[in-house]
Chains A and B, each alone.
Chain A
Amino acid sequence: MAFNSYQFLIFFPAVVLLYYAISHRWRWAWLLLASCFFYAAFIPVYLWILFFLITIDFFAALLIERATGHWRKALLGLSVLATCTVLFVFKYYDFFNASFVLLGQKLGLQYSPKVLSIILPLGLSFHTFQSLGYVIDVYRGVVKPERHLGRYALYVMFFPQLVAGPIERAKHLLPQLRKEQIFNSAFVVDGLRLMMWGMFKKVVIADRLALVVNSIYSDPTAFAGPSLVVATVFFAFQIYCDFSGYSDIAVGSARVLGIRLMQNFNCPYFAVSIADFWHRWHISLSTWFRDYVYISLGGNRVGWWRWRINIFITFLLSGLWHGAHSTFVLWGALHGVYYIFSKSILKENCWPRIFKIGCTFMLVGFAWILFRANSLSDAGYIMSHLWKGWGHGLRFGFEAGSIGLGLWEFFLAVGLIGFLITVEYIHEKKNLNLLVSQQPVILRWVIYAACTLVIMNMGIAVPIPFLYFQF
């Protein structure tokens, strides 16, 4: 079930109440049951994929611990192969086949594979990576394998982070699942506050911006430069509010249950360089790639060229992780080029901070075009027409309603972006959560009530799924 659904508004309080009411001995079972129910609300049959992965990796980890020499490596290889096969079949099979068909056509070869057209299991890339990380950590001796199958299953399936992360690490999450969590109202309020802010970002800001982005990106050739720029800037904020909104709700709901999940975002649009951006954006994934791919490739303890190749491969894989489409691969590749270029050539401290923030945002925003465009040709059109058609001024086509929002709604969307930037700016200087919690109780209640009412009445009703659900 989606966080922004009425089902979750009923499900979550019920889970929390019973969680604190029962003995610690049974809490893992209750959370596991709740997580199964949460996942089954999407497509119940896909639970079997999760059970399969959990069983394989649970026993693989136990065997790896006992094995020695080449057996350890072989067992790790088998576990990684099983997980990656599941990922490949469900996510990449059709993409690679379509690529081979294209290649075959170019070479004059006939190749017509069966198209699977499977609906991608929700969050497959997230929980497979979490599972992979666990097995690799056991292999590396970073963590001891979990001996309780149920608790390990909960580590993979813990519902707040099951379908879109954060991609947790075993050494961080497993001990928390073992430990008894005592009800702490300050901790619960902290979690609820985070959930509220996440919901605000998703249903009030992201979904509103999505109306413009979707209408322009669905047929970019019908629009000139100004509209394309608006859509691209809006998308940068849409994807941020959408995904960080999801992460906030995930982290917040886990916190209500007494569990701390890792932070996934840290004001990414205040980044002063591409490297800084990747320290602030989807932190759980970028650190995963750093720890399990980049470092495995040799990291920076290699020669000048090899180091650059390692970075490029890591970004390329990160692009492919996002989606089985050439646009995502190119998006990853572009970030790889940005990263190498910024590390190699640019001196980070020679420009004013605001300039560096602006430049980084523009580079990131430009790359988002590849991420969002429906096809490579659409992306090419948008990239080549951003600068065209400005002669007529800012004609956004409000009169025809062609950009998805009326004039008033459009300026409201711009205002909300301004509001978001202000809040993030304050948060950069001072922890906003702490700031709010230090206010008098009346003021806090006014803030909470106002925010809740705004979500309830200014949220967008058009069903727009969380963007990262597709990965």
Chain B
Amino acid sequence: MPKFIIQLGLFVVLVLGLQMCIPSANTDMPDEIKLLDEFLKRGADVIYFGDSTINWDVPSDKSDYNSPQLLQHFLPDRKVARISHSSYQSDIYESYAKYIVQTDKARQIKAVIIPVNMRMFSPQWDRQPGWQFEKEKITLRIKDTLAMKFYKPLEVFKFFEPRLNRFDYENTDVRDTDQVMGKVRDFDNPSYRNFSEENLKNIIRFHYMGAVPPDHRRLKALINAARIFQLAGIEPILYITPLDWETMTKVLGKRAIQQLISNTTVVTKALAENNLAVLDLSLSLHHSEFSWEEDGHGTYFPNEHLRIKGRIFVIAKLLKHTTLNEK
């Protein structure tokens, strides 16, 4: 047996050695990371992170400018870069923060904009296996190391797969305030996106009505991300994205607003305790500025996607209440 183990060991060493000779296959890296490298090379000084709310457009809008493009329009002297992906959340921003601080030694980046979408605290977003961005997080961690030689094999053998699976997701409690009202599987099922008054009510409860605890992992990650930037001398600009509070009130009554305010207060307070400011835009827009009713694809999914007017509003607020205008 020992002889066999030595032979097998030699074979493994041979294969690993040969693998080292194969050029790194970094073409399989997530596009956003490649884009970030490109931006860093081109000297971007503002990075605008975000999920689909910053670039969703609907056919009835006259312009399809996304939020970073709008910001660039208003700040022609600055170089604004967009790093966004549907359902990006604070966890991935934290990984980006570590990578940027480590890579951008010259500190050409002066500010980063981080939208805080309140839905990311819901189990629908927080526990969704496909929205964990493990590949992105690991890639950012190993990018400049020897491990990149094994990027493809790691991918083939599912190293980047989310640790959470569908079963974990479906068995997560769903809360309305502090009350457990079922499991995810009771909400996220085939009938979930069909239109009915009952479904609309359930979706809103599922997405927004759970109480956000001060130690929520996404909140911790948000604080970490912002602190990493702050400590490195990069200004983190945070804002809570607008929510369709009118629909929420129409469906659930005033208690929807109360819960929303309670949750944004938890977030604002936790950030303030870490010397971080956040611009709260959650209650600032009317139902007409949201585009979800027009999203289509045969689904019915109330969310935070904005029309162009809504996006312009957000940018105007950012310019007014932050230091972005200052050189």
Name the residue of chain A whose CB is nearest to the CB of B159.
A6
Report the Cα distance A60→B157, complex, angstroms.
Answer: 41
Q: Are B1 and A119 in contact (CB under 8 A)?
A: no
Q: Are A117 and B157 in contact (CB under 8 A)?
A: no
Is B269 an interface residue, CB under 8 A from the partner?
Answer: no
| Chain B residues within 8 Å of A460, by CB | 156
Is B77 an interface residue, CB under 8 A from the partner?
Answer: no
Q: Are A117 and B189 in contact (CB under 8 A)?
A: yes
Q: Are B157 and A119 in contact (CB under 8 A)?
A: no
Q: Are B157 and A6 in contact (CB under 8 A)?
A: yes
Query: Known contacts A2-B158, A453-B19, A457-B25; is A117 also within 8 Å of B185 by CB?
Result: yes
| Chain B residues within 8 Å of A67, by CB | none
Query: Known contacts A453-B19, A457-B25; is A6 also within 8 Å of B154 by CB?
Result: yes
Question: Chain B CB within 10 Å — which of A6, A7, A460 has the most?
Answer: A6
Segment from B64-72, B165-173, B213-221, B312-320 that makes contact with A: B165-173
Is B231 an interface residue, CB under 8 A from the partner?
Answer: no
Report the Cα distance A461→B160, complex, angstroms.
Answer: 9
| Chain B residues within 8 Å of A188, by CB | 4
Q: Which residues in chain B, 145-167, are within 8 Å of chain A measured between CB atoms?
A: 152-159, 161, 165-167
CB contact between B158 and one of A6, A119, A183 (< 8 Å): that residue: A6
Q: Are A185 and B4 in contact (CB under 8 A)?
A: yes
B249 nearest CB across to chain A (Å): 31
| Chain A residues within 8 Å of B189, by CB | 117
Query: Known contacts A2-B158, A6-B158; is A457 also within 8 Å of B18 by CB?
Result: no
Q: Is the interface of A mostly helix, strand, loop or mixed?
A: helix
- 1/0 per residue, CB under 8 A from B, across A109-136: the answer is 0000000010100000000000000000
A63 nearest CB across to chain B (Å): 35
Q: Are B157 and A185 in contact (CB under 8 A)?
A: no
| Chain B residues within 8 Å of A2, by CB | 158
Name the residue of chain A whose CB is nearest to the CB of B7.
A185
Q: Are B4 and A461 in contact (CB under 8 A)?
A: no
CB contact between A457 and one of B3, B4, B22, B158 (< 8 Å): that residue: B22
Q: Are A463 and B158 in contact (CB under 8 A)?
A: yes
Is A469 an interface residue, CB under 8 A from the partner?
Answer: no
Is A323 an interface residue, CB under 8 A from the partner?
Answer: no
Is B28 an interface residue, CB under 8 A from the partner?
Answer: yes
- 1/0 per residue, CB under 8 A from A, across B173-202: the answer is 000000000000100010000000000000
B34 nearest CB across to chain A (Å): 16
Is A20 an interface residue, CB under 8 A from the partner?
Answer: yes
Q: Are A5 and B157 in contact (CB under 8 A)?
A: yes
Report the Cα distance A39→B3, complex, angstroms.
Answer: 32
Q: Are B18 and A4 in contact (CB under 8 A)?
A: no
Report the Cα distance A203→B25, complex, angstroms.
Answer: 17
Q: Are B153 and A456 in contact (CB under 8 A)?
A: yes
Query: Known contacts A457-B152, A461-B28; is A43 also within 8 Å of B167 by CB?
Result: yes
Is B106 an interface residue, CB under 8 A from the partner?
Answer: no
Q: Are B167 and A448 in contact (CB under 8 A)?
A: no
Report the Cα distance A117→B170, complex, angstroms.
Answer: 10
Query: Known contacts A188-B4, A449-B11, A453-B19; is A119 also within 8 Å of B170 by CB?
Result: yes
Report the Cα distance A227→B138, complex, angstroms.
Answer: 37
| Chain A residues within 8 Å of B159, by CB | 6
Report the Cα distance A362→B153, complex, angstroms.
Answer: 36
- 1/0 per residue, CB under 8 A from A, across B124-156: the answer is 000000000000000000000000000011111
CB contact between B157 and one of A4, A20, A449 (< 8 Å): that residue: A4
Q: Are B11 and A456 in contact (CB under 8 A)?
A: no
Report the Cα distance A42→B165, complex, angstroms.
Answer: 8
| Chain A residues within 8 Å of B3, by CB | 185
CB contact between B14 and one of A117, A445, A459 (< 8 Å): that residue: A445
| Chain B residues within 8 Å of A9, by CB | 157
Q: Are B185 and A449 in contact (CB under 8 A)?
A: no
B27 nearest CB across to chain A (Å): 11
Q: Which residues in chain B, 267-321, are within 8 Å of chain A measured between CB atoms?
A: none
Name the residue of chain B whose CB is nearest to the CB of A207.
B156
Q: Are B1 and A449 in contact (CB under 8 A)?
A: no
Q: Are A461 and B1 in contact (CB under 8 A)?
A: no
Is A455 an interface residue, CB under 8 A from the partner?
Answer: yes
Report the Cα distance A188→B157, complex, angstroms.
Answer: 22
- 1/0 per residue, CB under 8 A from B, across A271-310: the answer is 0000000000000000000000000000000000000000
Query: Known contacts A4-B157, A185-B4; is A119 also within 8 Å of B166 by CB?
Result: yes
Report the Cα distance A448→B3, complex, angstroms.
Answer: 18
Report the Cα distance A348→B159, complex, angstroms.
Answer: 50
| Chain B residues within 8 Å of A456, by CB | 15, 19, 152-153, 156
Report the Cα distance A452→B15, complex, angstroms.
Answer: 8
Query: Known contacts A117-B189, A457-B152; is A463 also within 8 Å of B161 by CB?
Result: yes
Given A457-B156, A463-B158, 4 additional A-B pairs, CB 8 A: A4-B158, A117-B189, A119-B166, A203-B156
A selection of 26 A-B contacts at a CB cut-off of 8 Å is: A6-B154, A6-B157, A6-B159, A7-B158, A9-B157, A42-B167, A117-B185, A119-B170, A185-B3, A185-B4, A188-B4, A448-B11, A449-B18, A452-B15, A453-B18, A453-B19, A453-B22, A455-B156, A456-B15, A456-B152, A456-B156, A457-B19, A457-B152, A461-B152, A461-B156, A463-B161
Nearest 6 interchain pairs by C-beta? A459-B156, A461-B155, A456-B153, A6-B157, A185-B4, A5-B158
